[in-house]
Chains A and B, each alone.
Chain A
């Protein structure tokens, strides 16, 4: 028990150190980008304004408001103070909308699209990979090339192919949006149906890509394990095949779980392509607009969420590993 405690507290300490470092980087990196966000806002606001002094004045008003005219360490202190109070500030690009409001309205779309897609892709991929390793022959010969082919399609390629075939040509699914272009969100069967129909293409564009990669990984791991000494030894001892396969997949699964944790952590970035191509609402496209508009508060808040998700996913996995695989804990606390 003491061993576990030491293991956990060690992990927790590292988790906190990484979090602080990431937090500082999240603040600094967007601000190192060349360009001036206040100038972007000014440009938008002063279109058609003929007075040069007026333009300058507008610029100064916004610089003052966003604090970009203050030295960076002062900006950081203000940022810290706000974050501690749970205040992400006002967005630059969608000023005066609060960053929290923007995130709140987009993050659920991303999670609802990505989480099931990642899980389904992971489950299907691993099952297929394990089957390929176990059944070999015909199944493997067909599955492998298809998996390799699909997993190497870039995500936007898959999305565009689905879009062109199923939305533009066959017109089975809509081309854009999270719900019907003629709808007002409403708790009715028609609306839910519309959401589900709009969900299909973005969902499958993510699932299909991830199936291939997962299957290849799982197949390779399984083949390696199937040929491991302990398998041969168990067979030699006459242990039942089913029992052996249980062990094999449990071992082969470990690296796949890491992969799953990471893809859950990075789902916001992963959603970007599907969100853009299908005009699907969500955090990915929000982040992209934020970067294009040099919206520091929105970039920092989005990346902070991503950082937290990755860190927490990793932390949980490490903890889980300690439980699932005693070897890891043993190796770490020595």
Chain B
């Protein structure tokens, strides 16, 4: 277990926290890629998901896309895009690959969030005299938020994991110490960095789990909101029971 002690010492060494390539700087680079990619992915996927969920058009196409996107190895996609777009555009290439990775879960979350709202709720809103825009903003948006956020959470999880690989094309991030450390057999460094990545992933996941919980509107209890992984198959209504939404009893 020497390696664990060495990794711990590496983590505590003061060099890790100052100058270029310090752990805080790597965390910053890692978060930069995560935030930028998630912003672009949300910009594309959220309106599209709401549109598909609201109109009910293109749901089948969406299910196929989310399934086959999972088969695309993002590591290969990053390297391919860097070669095709040129090394000087490697940052854009990496972001595009991460956006491609993040879109399907966010899209599925937005779509299934709107889709699971009972038809009667929307009809009731319309019967009250709400316009289509009001229905979207005051009924569909709050009721779909928990599922949208759990799709978002799933996407963040995958983007954080894949952002460790952008170091391979010289873009830094926490993966750098690992990818550079393996050939040098600096296993204290690789193990220590891996621990930082694990903590980062767990903290982000916990924060988003909390946000999902807070975003659930009062009076609406979604019974199976517990775990994002259960969401993966949510877009297959025939296979997995949809979460039962219970409106507060009067």
| A and B found bound together | no
Chain A residues at the B interface, C-beta cutoff of 8 Å = none
